[in-house]
Structure 1
Amino acid sequence: MLHLHIGFPAGKYSAACIEEPSRPEWPPHPSRIYSALVAAAYASDRQPSACERNLLLALEQAEPPSLAFPEADTAAGATSYVPVNDLPSRFGPKSYGPLLPNRQPRHFPVAYLLGEPEIVLSWAFDLDREELRLLDQLAARMTHLGTSHSLVVARFTCSEPKPLACYAASPYGDLSLRVPLPGRLQELDEVYAQCGGSPRRPQPLYEDFVTYARLAGGPIQVHHSAYEWLAFRLKGCTWGADTAHSLGKSLRRAIMSLLDAQAPAAVHGHAAEQLHIAWLPLPEVGHPRAEGRIRGMGIALPNGLSRQERALTLAALARLPFLRLPDGQVAELEPVIDGPHTLRTLCPKTWTGFSPCWSSVTPVVLDRPPKRFESSRVIQALVESLVNAGFPAPLSVTLSQTSDFEGGPSVRRIPTRLPRTHARVVFAEPVQGPVIAGRWKYFGTGLFRPTPEEFLS
């Protein structure tokens, strides 16, 4: 194993989070660390040797490294107002009141390390003594990471790292970090040649977001999803989550009209034992101003679909730029391309992540409601609904009349007399979404999301 130890003598790390610049980034992303190594190789106008360049290429082509790092205080920093050197314009300089003329707001976020101020990156390959010496010399030339305020001392070793909080790349992780891709070194060379060290640089093309999960003592057992996820943005729709069932049916009806006699059983759903596509309206919930408005449509394609059925469904979706809603509204459908500025409601990870704890966004309409609506009987009926949907029986179930998410519709707002309930369920192992359950699960009523942190004990 190859390990890169980076120490922070001042006990702090200054770098902005790419999603929220007012907050500090923690832990440092592997792509940022790789760029710092490349900068060290070219420091003081030196040119790296062929062997050093080959070692940098080996690092960018390796699998994402595991990380060990201490906890840190990542509270958002205060807003500062600084003078700028903007060119004069006919509109006059921007100002923030008579006391702050010609000032612009700036953030200088800092993460204060709460443990031993050192992080360790580990790659699963070995080097000979000479290669290790060259890499160690590169690391020794690193002066800072992030901004120049966070000084570092770095070294490469082949020894085992100290047992800190260790994370490794995993498809069911909840920590998303940027890692370099093959071609990143050449991209950095080209950017430097074009920009000459200018602080304004284009967005990197040769890096990717990789999810990381905390390593446990033994192998982690997970329940993988039975669906492939697609998402579409819905423009011009004012519907709420309480009528998700009708909206989901409208989308299925539109697809069936395009496919006509070619519509497979997974689309029309008339064959009870066949696989079913889920048409899931995606409501905006989970923040103080959320009202449960439908922002998009998620289409969950069963993994067992044949190639022909999948191709027919995708072709029909491609031919459906607009969706006519039951009240006569016409909404525009637009495929969602996931990115740093994508609305959280439309991000795939919001609905398809791994978690042992899930809470209902829309109430679950029970498959087989009990004759007497007692708590224990309702819990048993809810467990049966989850098992019928293909999920393991949960360890615990908490019933409620309201959702754990702000903006989620209450049980009373669902326009049906069928027994329904909100629930928070805890599984014995991480379960991958989408999690849907109940009689109306294929139309978005009975849709779950990972439980908010404030409800986790």
Structure 2
Amino acid sequence: MVRFILGRYHATPWGSHVNEGAVELPPSPWRLLRALYATWKTRLPDQFDENTVHSLLAALATPPIYFVPPHQLSHTRHYYPDTKHRTGAVSTDRTLDAFAVLDRDAELAIRWNTSLTEEQHKALTRLAEALPYLGRADSLCEARVDPGWQPTSAHSICSPGDIGEAIPDGIDTVSLLCPDVPLDFEQLLARPVDIRAGKLLYPKSTKLVAYLQSQPTASASSATAPASGPAEPVTTLRFAVLDPLPPAITDAVVLTSRLRAAAIKALDAHPQLRLFAGKDDSGNHLEGHQHPHYLALPDENGRAAELAIWIPQGCAEDAVALLHKEVRRLYGHPNAPGPDTTRINLTGYGAVNNLLSDYTGPSRTWISATPFLPTGHRKRDWQWFVRHRIIRELAYRELTEPSTVDLLPDPPQRFTTHRPGQRRHQAAPPAWVRVTFPEPIHGPVVLGHLSHFGLGLFQPDPAQSHNCR
């Protein structure tokens, strides 16, 4: 965790001239390793031996994930006499001082998906606390190791992309200098002037890694810094679909089933595997809808542009790190509905109110975002049947009984109403519904058959937004 106490961060990327006005934010993994090594050599040379520090830096050589706070890029221009000033000619050179402007309380977080020994963890903690600056020497900072830190909704996530992965429109990227593995300490300690003398733009044993930059889930103006105290539990993970043309939302159940399968595979040996499979520690099915809801979030074009996992009881952060590392592609079966492969990337995790704000209200009136699939066999009075099932589902989730339940016209698209490899749901057709409550309630509201796979998802009715809050 790094906080720039003057609210400014100065750092020119490797391979860039200062007058390009570029700012290396987030700081590259190469810069971080050099900063930690320099801190050890200049400030703590007697506290840790070389083997401990070298093994620590080798463990941190894999590309980390960054959580970048809101910031603005700016620069100042400086003019000074050039080499001709002794001739009496009026001539100047110009240099740019580019920097990022951040709130003085804003925190830049770096997370490595690696395991450290007790001695390595102790060394990293002390080195972080002793770090005087990051980037140029006037980028004064305070740093610490905080395993319980959580990003705010204003943080954007920068994560390394896969080699050969196509970058879709709308996703920003930045190239960061990363070390090859195993870490070459001779190159890590080389001075930039020596690299230039060797007619190289970048040090040997390094590579540029493309990082995908997700947008914050809420605007910086509406986000507040977390209060002191326990961090909010991780109850929601949100993924962006990276395919140029996202799958149709009508295949929501297909996509969420694949997301669940990928999550369970990624957590094969993790203690929380059973939670993501909907079971308790004894292997029994969780009661009260506390197990994960795998959701497909529709965009304005009827596409599943995003996916989410909502875990009401919360999950461990190391499980999130595994999912981010392992769950990058969702694979389908031949001749099954939906695309053969769907590429996704974790764009945020944290509290449900931050990550699914479009589906949490509060609101009095809620409408179907995906169709409600009633349980049981259809009755002759369709409206009565749907209302009865809605009331029953709400009571099961300890939500208020609605004032009215109205059927909405069915859209022309037909949704898949069964999971891949399972029998079709024959009992009752899907329904599109408007539900109105006596008082505003908080979401998410997900009801009916296959609600844990994205059907029956409701959202606040935008037509009633003037009296929802």
TM score, norm. by length of structure 2? 0.43
TM-score if structure 1 supplies the norm length? 0.44
